[in-house]
């Protein structure tokens, strides 16, 4: 079986997007998912996005991590899948998306895609994480811990990111680990160690939203605020009618086919 796919990225987060309205994608074959997600030996991605039918929205989004595990939500992924659904004629400029985290809405705004996230929850400040920096937490669709650091560039992220991601405070599922700073101009910069990827990614949409929400809660910024991601792209976080929004580009890189079955 040949599976058509589109490779996309949102702010540097790259995804394999599959129109799975016929529900043919082998969700339970974790070995296949790991193989195509590998950056050096497969297509390479930070996650696999499936467009599936929905009884409550224009379509349902499924998000699969590179390790084969499914998670509730991905902000940049949702923006990319919204762009693809619009291009396929599945949804109009304004659309609703069913996710495991709840219903979200997206709007195509030219080259940008605005995503209305689920309401932030479980917000906690100054957690006892035994790190050298203040650590906060909020769930913006998936869990995010945020450590407020002074120097992002010299941060040894693989080690400290894994430490925070696996901290006992967030057991047993763990958390995404973000390290952020407030810039002199009032913008934010962030680096993220993503759960399921188990490495730093060039961006994380729900992570950028978490950083902005927590910085606003601390009184250090006001929304809307620009968040600078590790890959050099910016995301804008705002609050519209009480809902957190995430806005940025969603770009098609290439399209292709991947073979499933008859593998050695």
| Residues tagged active-site | 74, 204
Residue keyed to tokens 């990319």: 80
Contact (CB, 8 A) for 77 and 205: yes
Residue keyed to tokens 């043919």: 24
- What span, in angstroms and rounded, lies between the C-alpha atoms of 171 and 69? 17
Of the candidates 213, 155, 202, the one whose C-alpha atom is nearest the C-alpha of residue 14 is: 202
Contact (CB, 8 A) for 247 and 114: yes
Can you give the C-alpha Rg of the chain in angstroms? Answer: 18
Q: Is the peptide bond before 79 cis (omega within 30 degrees of 0)?
A: no
- What span, in angstroms and rounded, lies between the C-alpha atoms of 246 and 115? 5
Q: What is the DSSP letter of 170?
A: G
């Amino acid at each position: 079986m040949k599976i058509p796919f589109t490779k996309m990225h949102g702010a540097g987060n790259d995804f394999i997007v599959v129109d799975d309205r016929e529900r043919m994608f082998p969700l339970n074959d974790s070995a296949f998912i790991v193989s195509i997600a590998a950056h050096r030996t497969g297509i390479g991605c930070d996650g696999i996005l499936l467009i599936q039918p929905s009884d409550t929205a224009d379509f349902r989004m499924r998000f699969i991590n590179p390790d084969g595990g499914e998670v509730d939500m991905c902000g940049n992924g949702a923006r990319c899948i919204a762009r693809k659904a619009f291009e396929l004629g599945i949804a109009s400029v304004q659309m609703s998306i069913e996710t495991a985290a709840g219903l979200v809405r997206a709007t195509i705004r030219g080259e940008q895609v605005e995503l209305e996230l689920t309401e932030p929850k479980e917000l906690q400040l100054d957690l006892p994480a035994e790190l050298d920096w203040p650590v906060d937490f909020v769930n913006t669709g998936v869990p995010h811990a945020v450590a407020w650091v002074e120097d992002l560039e010299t941060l040894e992220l693989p080690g400290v990111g894994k430490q925070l991601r696996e901290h006992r405070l967030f057991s047993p599922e763990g958390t995404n680990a973000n390290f952020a700073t407030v810039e002199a101009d009032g913008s934010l910069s962030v680096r993220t160690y993503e759960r399921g990827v188990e490495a730093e990614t060039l961006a994380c949409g729900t992570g950028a939203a978490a950083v902005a929400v927590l910085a606003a809660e601390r009184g250090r910024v006001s929304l809307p605020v620009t968040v600078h991601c590790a890959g050099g792209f910016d995301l804008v976080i705002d609050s519209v009618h009480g809902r957190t929004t995430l806005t940025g580009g969603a770009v098609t890189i290439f399209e292709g086919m991947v073979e499933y079955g008859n593998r050695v």
